[in-house]
Structure formats: structure tokens, C-alpha cells
Structure 1
Amino acid sequence: MSKKIRMLGLLAGAVFVGGLAQQAQAQTVKMTAVAGHPVTLPWVKLADEFFIPELDKRLAAANSKAKFEWNRAWGGTVAKLGTESGAVKDGLAELAFVSTIFEAPKFPLHNVSYVAPFMTDDVRMMSKVIKSVQAKIPAMTEAWTKNNMIFLGGTGLDTYHLFTKNPIGKLEDLQGKKINAPGPSANWVKGTGAVAVAGSLQTYYNDIQTGVTEGALTFVTGAFPIKLIEVAPHITKVNYGAQFAGALVMSKRVFDKLPKDAQKIVMEVGGEYDARFNELLATTSGNLLKQMEANGAKPRDLSAEERKQWAAVLPNVALPWAKDLDSKGMPGSKVLETFIGEFKTAGVSFPRDWSKE
């Protein structure tokens, strides 16, 4: 064998081995992304159209060894609403939008806004307050990690109103009416004379159309895409307040195995998802309400005095909620006090202080 042939063989071998080494260093992770809600709803839409492509783009631009291969399984195709965290914990999904309102047993502390309504209609402030409380109380962060999740970005919901088939002129008009109210928001019906019926954005339209209920407690950015005003055109603008609704999360098992540069990029894009989402809701809910009016919706504002009356008739479920969690070894009272305290510090005016009897 000539010296030239031997050199070519050695060179080819070096290229082959180098290629194998590069492949070994590269980390392609198969990612199934799940949400019980469809992609038409803003928190899923932003995950699909911003978070995933932006994450891929930044990883490539940084020449990260990590690369994701995505299977988008939105709309309950892999995990039904309320089972998303279980799908991540069990390894069926690597990215998920977890709706804490529908998984209250796993995330009881994160539902504090639902037991203490009427705080603020500013979704950006609600999201900021919840993240501040979470940063101060380790048990809230641990709720994610013990379920094999890394919190990437939280989402609020624009303020809740009452959508009904017939007009509600005064509080007494609710007497005997069946109203869709999901999870903890069922507490907002207690004391009003109405009856809370379980449901979700996927069921409200059909429930009202078929007479199962006569209305729903929901928010404009959720009501608009499901065309709720077709069956419930009367909007009583109770302004129950913006709410914390859930978070975009990544499997901790996956996250912990990523190189440090990729972990940093994941968290950065998650933070931007959070900020973009809450800004999106803050700017679009008013525009959507105007479109609803143009399409036949009939909104009615509550005066400050009426709103105070509506808040006053509700039982204070926040205090027993907090004490119950305290008895189970969770810092329920601390979360409630910190939550209310954040709003007071910010100078927010609200009709009822849920931390008091």
C-alpha cells in the first residue's frame, strides 16, 4: 500500500471518528407538547407559535448541543384537561400547559386568587403578584418540582364576568339560575342564590344551548373564540378579577439533562412567554369585548356599590381554605396574607379583604 493511500485512509478514518464524536455530543430530545385546551386559546397558541419556534431558533443561533424534535399534541390528544401534569410526571409529555385551576389538589396554593376574588382587573399585576408570592414561599415552587416540572412562565386570565342567556339587572335575578363555574370559581356563586355547575370552555356553549345551564362565569379572551355570546349575549361585567390560571412547564428530567447553555435559553424564552402572554391579554380583552358588542353582545357595568354588594354576599372561603391547608402542613395562611399584602403594598383598592373575618 502506497504512502499516499495510507494517508487518505487515515484521513477518512479521522473524519468518520470526528463525525461520530460530533453526533455523540449533539443532544436531540424528542418532545411531546401537551395541553387539554385547543390551540385556538391564547395560552396554547402562544406556546405553539412563539415558545417552541423561538426556543428552536435561539438554540440554533447559540450553536447549542441541544436540539428538540417536537410532537405538538394540543387539544387533549395526549393529555385531557386536568391531566397535563400527570402526563409530564409519567413521562408521556415533556412540555405542557398545566391549568392549575383544574388541578387544584396538586397546586392548592396557586389557586389563592380564586378563593380571594375581586382584587384587580389587571392581568399583568395578577401574574406579577403570584410570581412574587411563589418566589417568597418555597412550597409553591416545590409543587412544580415534586411533580417533575420546571416552571417556565405563568399565565393569568383577564377578569371574569358573567355571561348569561337572559339579562341580569340586579343580584336577585340570579336566584335559582344554574351557572357554569369551574373549580374554585364555583365559590363565587355561593350566596348569590344561583347554583354552580361544573364545566369548562369546551362545554359552556353546549351547556347553555341545551339548557343545562343559563350562563357561565368566564373571561372575554376565553369566551370570544368559543363564540359564547351566540348563546349567552348578556354580559354582566361583575369584574371578579384577573386570575392566575396555570403555567407552561418542562419536564424536570429533560431540563436537568440539558447543557447549561440550553437551560439558560429555555428559562429566558419561558420568561418572555410569560411577559408576552400577559401583555397580549391586557391589550386584547378590551378589543374583543368591543367586537362582541358589535356582534350583538349586551354588556352591563356594575357600579362600585353593586360590586361591593356582590362581593359582600359571598362566604369568605379564603380563610377556611387557608386554615385547611395549614392543617395539612401547607402554608395556606402565609400565602393568603402575602397575596393580600402584595396588593395593599401596590396601592390597589378592592371591595373586600379576604384575610379578615
Structure 2
Amino acid sequence: MFRKMLGAAMAVAVMGGASGADAQEVTLKVHHFLGPQAPQHAAVLAPWCDKLAKESNDKLKCQIFPAMQLGGTPPQLYDQARDGIADVILVLAGYAANRFPRMEVFELPFMMTNAEATSRAAWDYQETLAKDEFAETKLLATFVHGPGNIYTTKKKIEKLDDFKGLKLRAPTRQTNKLLAMMGASPVGMPVPAVPEAISKGVIDGAVIPYEVAPAIKMNELVKHTAETDRSYNALYTAVFLVAMNKAKYDSLPADLKKVLDANSGGEVSGMFGKAMLAADAPAKEKMLASGVEINVIPAAELDKWKKASDALDDAWVKDMDAKGFDGKKLLQSAQDLTKKYTK
């Protein structure tokens, strides 16, 4: 009789323990480099965190730390996820130069069709061809921003020759090379550093998408914006990573892992890309309302820009070959995946 009672008590204790584990509440520290007004915060991370909370009955929550509030610099964010300084980070892959070489393919000139399709393509590509580049963390999403534009303080960009002599900020290694091939002097820096650099005359402008421009006061700092014909592939884009500390993910109870898994991957990457693209229109309106002149570079001129930068694709392929990969296959796969998702 005593053994039966002891067994029943132990069973209740075990069940209670399991129930307690399932009832565990977790708050993720989410760290990124942009301000809270930026769409990466307001239209990507905040709604994503709200969704996690709703689908977990408030058991999985986020505390978002924008603008590097947990310390460090933007290029250190990925290591912060690896080391557990933050549980989840959002960072530009290009800020860690040479760390994700195969993912750079999406940052080559005129690669992107639209942000949603290219974001989905980037996820599938890394899953099949570059997954090991992210072995130090649990990758949750990859996405890109909308078409990059050229913002200048004085000189209007209308044709290829207009780039000559300009010092322009670029976000990634490939975009730096692109600007150099077009005649500009590229200056690499994270986007939060752009306003001060323009104000002090260190640079004559920058290449960024519309969505982040008002957040860094570009509507107050520049006079001209050159936008590429939207029927043409984008001049450039940049790849964002949302990555999680592996130990933190592994420590989650099964029910919360399920919620997180349902809000990670290709569909979520596409959703993030779509949100970024949607943020372009209102940001453009703010630029116009501030008196910034916007001109569109027609397809015929873009053909010249593409021809001037075509060698970048070949150089990237050779670089991949030298690293032991099939560069041509990687490039073709990225192009095919992007085409697959483009409607």
C-alpha cells in the first residue's frame, strides 16, 4: 500500500515538474544597431516579438535593446549572439567582412528583384549552400532591404560620369567595390555613423534604401536622391541576419521552441523582406516633403552601370573558387532562387 502511495506521489511530482517546465516564462534579450524608429525595429522585430508573446500565451517575450544599448559596436553583434551577451541579434551580414562570403552573392550589383522574393531566396540558399557559415548560432531569418538609392548633398547623380570624385558611404564590401568601379571613392561605415559623417563633410553622400533614410535625418542632410528604375533589378541590397544564441535556444522548453520554430525560417524571412519594402513608400514621402529632389535613373542608363560593374560577379566567382567552392554554381543558384520567388 505504501509503495503504491509513494509511486502515485512520485508520478504527481513528475507531472507537476513537466507542467512547471511547460509553464516556464522566458524573456529574450534582443539587440540591434538601429534606433527604435527604424523599420527594422518597428516593422520587423517589434511585431515579431508581439507574435511570439501572443502564440506562447505570454510565456515567450522579448526585451528589445536598440542602438547598441547592450554595448559594443555593430560588427560585434553576431559574436554577441554566439557568446550569449544577447539572446537574439539583428545585424547586417556585411558588417562582418569576409565572415559570410557565400552570402555576399545577394549583395552583388543588380542581383535583387524585390525584397520579399530575395529574402526568401537568401534563406533557401543558406539552408542548402551556406548553412555552415552560421554554425556558431541558431539562425532564425535572413532578409534584405528594398532597392538602394544614392543620396548626395550637392551633386545630382544622373549618369555614370557623375560618380567621379564623390566620397560615398557604402554598407558592404561588395557595395564598396561597386562604387569604386563606377568612379566614386567608397567609404565603409555602419549606417548610424552616416549623419555625422555628412555633417562634417567627411562624405558627400551615401547609398541606402528609402526606409532608413528619415530615421538618420537624410531628409535634412541631402539635396538629391537618385532612384533606379524599379522595373530594373536593384542597384544593390544588403543581407540582414536574425540569429540566436544556441545555448539559449536549447534551454527553451519544448512548447516555446515550437513557437519560435514556427516564427523562423523562409516564410518569416519573406515576411521581414516584405515589411522592409513596405517601409520604403512612407519614407520616400518624407524625403519629398522635406524638399529633397528625387530623380529616376532610366533603364538605358542602368545598362551602362551594369556593364561597368559586371566584373564584380566574375571576381566574386573567382574568390569563391579560391576558397574551395564552386563559385559559378553559387551565383547561378542565387539567381535561380531569386527568380523562383519573384512574381
TM-score in terms of structure 1 length: 0.81
Match of 2:41 among 41, 44, 65: 44
Do the aligned residues in 2 keep the contact of 1:121 with 1:242 (CA within 8 Å)? no
CA contact (8 A) 1:181 1:197 kept: yes
C-alpha distance in 2, partners of 1:161/1:25? 48
Please give the residue correspondences for 1:346-357 in structure 2 after superposition, counting only pairs within 5 Å. Answer: none
Partner of 1:329: 324
Match for 2:253 among 254, 259, 266? 259
Asked whether the 8 Å contact 2:158–2:297 carries over to 1, the reply is no
Provide the aligned C-alpha RMSD in A: 2.9
SS at match of 1:92: coil
Counterpart in the other structure of 1:111 = 104
Q: Tell me the residue number matched to 2:116.
A: 124
Unmatched 5+ stretches in structure 2 = 1-10
Deviations 1:301-321 (A, max 9, x none): 111110111121225122222
2:162 aligned to 143, 154, 173, which one? Answer: 173
Match of 2:187 in 1: 197
CA distance in 2 between counterparts of 1:27 and 1:248 reads: 24
CA positional deviation for 1:39: 2.2
In structure 2, relative to structure 1, the CA distance for the partners of 1:291 and 1:28 (3 Å cut) is closer
Q: 1:16 to 1:308 in 2, by over 3 A?
A: closer
2:141 aligned with 1:153, yes or no? yes
Alignment correspondent of 2:272? 277
CA distance in 1, matches of 2:36, 2:326: 35
Query: Post-superposition shift, 1:28?
Result: 4.2
Amino acid at match of 1:311: K
What is the alpha-carbon distance in structure 2 between the residues aligned to residue 336 and residue 195 of structure 1?
27
Match of 1:210 among 195, 200, 203: 200
Give the structure 2 partner of residue 87 of structure 1: 80
The alpha carbon displacement at 1:47 in A equals 4.9
One-letter amino acid matched to 1:243? T
Q: Deviations over 1:121-180 (max 9, x none)?
A: 51112112212322332xx22222x21x22222221010011001212332122111111
CA gap 1:165/1:257 in 2 versus in 1, 3 angstroms: same
Identity across matched positions, percent? 23
Q: Structure 1's 130 and 24: CA in aligned 2 closer, same or farther, altered over 3 A?
A: closer
Q: Assess, with a 3 A threshold, how the Cα gap between structure 1 residues 340 and 71 changes in structure 2: closer, same or farther.
A: closer
Q: How far apart, CA to CA, are the structure 2 residues paired with 1:24 and 1:113?
A: 41
Instruction: Provide the residue aligned with 1:141 in structure 2.
Output: 131
Partner in structure 1 of residue 57 of structure 2: 60
Change (3 A) 1:108 1:292: same
Structure 2: how far apart are the matches of 1:317 and 1:51? 35
1:34 aligns with 2:26: no
What's 1:75 paired with? Answer: 67
Moved more, 169-178 or 242-251: 242-251
Which residue in 1 is equivalent to 2:8?
Answer: none
2:151/2:225 contact within 8 Å kept: yes
- Helix, strand or coil: the match of 1:83? helix
Describe the SS at the equivalent of 1:243: coil
Contact 1:248 1:270 in 2 (8 A): no
One-letter amino acid of the structure 2 residue matched with residue 265 of structure 1: V
Cα distance, 1:26–1:120 mapped onto 2, change above 3 Å: closer
Cα distance in 2 between the residues matched to 1:329 and 1:345: 27
> Which TM-score applies when normalising by structure 2?
0.84
Structure 1, unpaired ranges of 5+: 1-13, 62-66, 349-357
> Using the alignment, how far apart are the partners of 2:56 and 2:153 within structure 1?
49
Give the deviation of 1:112 after TM superposition: 0.9
Q: Larger radius of gyration, structure 1 or 2?
A: 1
Match of 1:188 in 2: 178
Does the 8 Å contact 1:156/1:244 carry over to 2? yes
Alignment coverage as a number of residue pairs: 327
Q: Does 1:299 align with 2:294?
A: yes
Aligned equivalents of 2:300, 2:115: Cα separation in 1? 23
